[in-house]
């Protein structure tokens, strides 16, 4: 049984950017390229975590207005 507190990433693959369907969908598209060795899963997670951290500091940083 997995301990929820032991998870490294608080988001899921489906909703990587909470409240941003476009961002989460783009992340899923990138993850779909991993079996073809077109992307590195660790890089996707690293960039996504950095973007989430920036959003915590600057809520409008990724708005599409």
> What is this structure's pTM?
0.62
> Which alpha helices (H) appear in 1-65, and where do they start and end?
21-32, 41-57
pLDDT for res 19: 76
User: In the predicted model, is pLDDT for residue 60 greater than 90?
Assistant: no
Which pLDDT score is estimated for 38? 93
Give the per-residue pLDDT at 35.
Answer: 92
């Amino acid at each position: 049984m997995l301990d929820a507190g032991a998870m490294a990433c608080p988001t899921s693959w489906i909703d990587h950017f909470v409240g941003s369907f476009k961002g989460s969908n783009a992340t899923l598209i990138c993850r779909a390229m991993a079996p073809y060795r077109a992307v590195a899963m660790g890089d996707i997670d690293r960039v996504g975590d950095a973007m989430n951290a920036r959003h915590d500091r600057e809520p409008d940083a990724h708005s599409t207005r």
